[in-house]
Amino acid sequence: MDFVLHPLNLVTFFPLVGVLVLFFINPARKNALRWTALITSLVTFGISLWVLTLFDASNPDLQLVIKLPWIQVAGWDISYHLGVDGLSILLVLLTSFLTPISILSTWTAIEERVKDFMLFFLMLEVGMMGVFLAQDLFLFYVFWEFTLVPMYFLIGIWGGPQRIYAAIKFFLYTMAGSILMLLAILWLGINQGTFSVPDLIAAGGIPVHVQTWLFLAFAMAFAIKVPMWPLHSWLPDAHVQAPTAGSVILAGVLLKMGTYGFLRFNLPLFPEAAVRFAPTMALLAVIGILYGAAVSYSQQDIKKLVAYSSVSHLGFVMLGLFALNPQGIQGGILQMINHGLSTGALFLLVGMIYEQTHTRDFDVYGGLWKIMPVYGSVMLIVTLSSMGLPGLNGFVGEFTILLGAFGSNAIGSPWYAGLAAVGVILAAIYMLYMFQKIFLGPAGSIVETVKEHGHALRDLNAREIITIVPLLVLIFWIGLYPKPFFTLMAPAVDKLVGILQMAMH
Amino acid sequence: MTQADFYTILPIILLVAWASALLLVDLFIPKGRKGLTALLAAVGLAAAMGITLTQSGHTGVGFSGMVVLDGFSVFVNLLLLFTGLLGVALAYGYVKRLGIERGEYYTLLLFSIAGMLLMAQAADLIMIFLALELLSIPLYVLAAFAHPQAESEEAGLKYFLLGAFSSGFVVYGIALVFGATQTTALSGIAAAVSAGTANTMLMLIGSALILVGFSFKVAAVPFHMWTPDVYQGAPTSVTAFMAAGAKIAGFAALLRVFSTAFPSLAADLTPVLWVLAALTMIVGNLIAVSQTNIKRMLAYSSIAHAGYILMAFVPFGNPDVAPISIAAGLFYLVSYVLTNFGSWGVVIALEKAEGKGLNLDDYAGLGRKYPGLAAAMTIFMLSLTGIPPTLGLVGKFYLFRAVIAGGFYGLAIIGVLTSLVSAYYYLRVVVIMYMRDGEPEATSEPWLNLTWAGMALATVVLSFVPSFVFEWASQAVMKLF
Q: How far is A66 from chain B (nearest CA, A)?
A: 17
**How far, in Å, CA of A288 to CA of A245, rounded?**
25
Q: Which helix (H) or strand (E) holds A288?
A: helix A271-297
For residue B412, which residues of chain A lie inside 8 Å, CB to CB? 183, 186
Q: Is A74 in contact with B474 (Cβ distance < 8 A)?
A: yes
Question: Could you give the angle at which helices A373-387 and A326-357 cross, rounded to 10 degrees?
Answer: 150
User: What residues contact residue A293 under an 8 Å CB cut-off, 6+ apart?
Assistant: A308, A309, A312, A423, A426, A427, A429, A430
Q: Could you say which DSSP state residue B225 is in?
A: T
Mean pLDDT of B471-479: 79
Contact A384, A428 (CB under 8 A): no
Contact A409, A370 (CB under 8 A): no
Mean pLDDT of A394-407: 89
**pLDDT tens digits, A300-324:** 888 888 889 989 999 999 999 999 8
3-state secondary structure A425-447: HHHHHHHHHHHHHHHCCCCCHHH
For residue A149, which residues of chain B lie inside 8 Å, CB to CB? 382, 387
**How far, in Å, CA of A165 to CA of A167, rounded?**
6
Q: Could you say which DSSP state residue A252 is in?
A: I
Q: Is B397 in contact with A186 (Cβ distance < 8 A)?
A: yes
Mean pLDDT of A255-277: 91
**How far, in Å, CA of B423 to CA of B372, rounded?**
22
**pLDDT tens digits, B121-141:** 998 999 999 999 999 999 999
Strand partners, A80: A68
Taking the domains of chain A in order of start, what are their residue ranges? 274-505
Residue A102's SS3 state is: helix
- Predicted confidence at residue A390, as pLDDT, reads 87
Does residue B257 have a pLDDT over 90? no
- Predicted confidence at residue A1, as pLDDT, reads 59
Please tell me which residue of chain B has the smallest CA distance to A182: B397
Predicted confidence band at B479 (pLDDT cuts at 50, 70, 90)? low
Please tell me which residue of chain A has the smallest CA distance to B379: A149
Does residue A354 have a pLDDT over 80? yes
Q: Among residues of chain A, what percentage have pLDDT more than 70?
A: 99
Question: Could you give the angle at which helices A89-105 and A114-133 cross, rounded to 10 degrees?
Answer: 170
Does residue A435 have a pLDDT over 80? yes
Predicted confidence band at A124 (pLDDT cuts at 50, 70, 90)? very high
Quick one: how far is CA B430 from the chain centroid?
A: 25
- Predicted confidence at residue B282, as pLDDT, reads 94
Q: Is B474 in contact with A73 (Cβ distance < 8 A)?
A: yes
Q: Is B368 in contact with A113 (Cβ distance < 8 A)?
A: yes
Question: Could you give the angle at which helices B247-256 and B200-218 cross, rounded to 10 degrees?
Answer: 160
Does residue A25 have a pLDDT over 80? yes
The ipTM (two decimal places) reads 0.88
Among A210, A71, A75, A188, which Cα is nearest to B325's? A75
Predicted confidence band at A387 (pLDDT cuts at 50, 70, 90)? confident
> Which backbone phi and psi does A358 adopt, to 5 degrees?
60, 30
Predicted confidence band at A74 (pLDDT cuts at 50, 70, 90)? low
Q: Is A138 in contact with B397 (Cβ distance < 8 A)?
A: yes
The residue type of B471 is: E
- Predicted confidence at residue A454, as pLDDT, reads 74
Among A71, A100, A65, A67, which Cα is nearest to A85's? A65
Among B302, B289, B442, B423, which Cα is nearest to B374's? B442
**pLDDT tens digits, B208-243:** 899 999 998 888 888 888 999 999 989 999 999 999
Whole-number Cα distances in Å, B361 to A229, A465, B292, B364, B454 = 37, 44, 8, 6, 26
Q: How far is A154 from chain B (nearest CA, A)?
A: 10
Q: Is B420 in contact with A141 (Cβ distance < 8 A)?
A: no
Predicted confidence band at A505 (pLDDT cuts at 50, 70, 90)? confident
- pTM for this model (two decimals): 0.91
Contact A460, A352 (CB under 8 A): yes
For residue B407, which residues of chain A lie inside 8 Å, CB to CB? none
- Predicted confidence at residue B351, as pLDDT, reads 87
Contact B442, B430 (CB under 8 A): no
Does residue A29 have a pLDDT over 90? no
DSSP-assigned letters across all residues of B383-410:
HHHT-SSSHHHHHHHHHHHHHHHTT-HH
Q: Is A183 in contact with B400 (Cβ distance < 8 A)?
A: yes
**How far, in Å, CA of B472 to CA of B71, rounded?**
9
Q: Is A71 in contact with B470 (Cβ distance < 8 A)?
A: yes
**How far, in Å, CA of A159 to CA of A171, rounded?**
14
Whole-number Cα distances in Å, A18 to A13, A119, A293, B422 = 10, 8, 40, 33
User: What residues contact residue B454 under an 8 Å CB cut-off, 6+ apart?
Assistant: none
- Predicted confidence at residue B40, as pLDDT, reads 92
Mean pLDDT, chain A, rounded, equals 88
Q: Which helix (H) or strand (E) holds A63?
A: strand A63-71
- Considering just the CA atoms, what is the radius of gyration of chain A in Å? 22
Q: Is A73 in contact with B409 (Cβ distance < 8 A)?
A: no
The upper half-sphere exposure of residue A209, i.e. CA atoms within 13 Å in the direction of its Cβ, equals 0
Question: Could you give the angle at which helices B125-143 and B150-181 cross, rounded to 10 degrees?
Answer: 170
Q: Is B416 in contact with A182 (Cβ distance < 8 A)?
A: yes
User: What residues contact residue B248 under an 8 Å CB cut-off, 6+ apart?
Assistant: B76, B79, B80, B83, B116, B333, B337
User: What residues contact residue B428 under an 8 Å CB cut-off, 6+ apart?
Assistant: A168, B360
For residue B387, which residues of chain A lie inside 8 Å, CB to CB? 145-146, 148-149, 175
- Predicted confidence at residue B305, as pLDDT, reads 93
Among A235, A239, A222, which Cα is nearest to A155's? A239
Q: How far is A190 from chain B (nearest CA, A)?
A: 7
Q: Could you say which DSSP state residue A84 is in?
A: E
Q: Is B431 in contact with A149 (Cβ distance < 8 A)?
A: no
**pLDDT tens digits, A359-372:** 888 888 888 888 88
User: What residues contact residue B191 under an 8 Å CB cut-off, 6+ apart?
Assistant: none
Contact A306, A314 (CB under 8 A): no
Please tell me which residue of chain B has the smallest CA distance to A193: B405
Does residue A289 have a pLDDT over 80? yes
For residue A146, which residues of chain B lie inside 8 Å, CB to CB? 387-389
Does residue A262 have a pLDDT over 90? yes
- Considering just the CA atoms, what is the radius of gyration of chain B in Å? 21
Q: Is B416 in contact with A70 (Cβ distance < 8 A)?
A: no
Q: Which of A389-393, B29-33, B354-358 has the highest average model confidence (pLDDT)?
A: A389-393
Residues on chain A bordering chain B, Cβ-to-Cβ distance under 8 angstroms: 70-75, 113, 116, 138, 141-143, 145-146, 148-149, 152-153, 156-157, 163-164, 167-168, 171-172, 175-176, 179-180, 182-183, 186-187, 189-190
Contact B263, B164 (CB under 8 A): no
Selected for mutation to probe chain B from A78, A169, A186 (highest B CB count within 10 Å) is A186
Question: What do you get for the CA distance between the two ends of chain A, in Å?
Answer: 48
**How far, in Å, CA of B386 to CA of B390, rounded?**
7
Burial group, residue A205, by CB count within 10 angstroms (0-12, 13-18, 19+): exposed
Q: What is the number of other CB atoms lying within 10 angstroms of the CB of residue A124?
A: 28
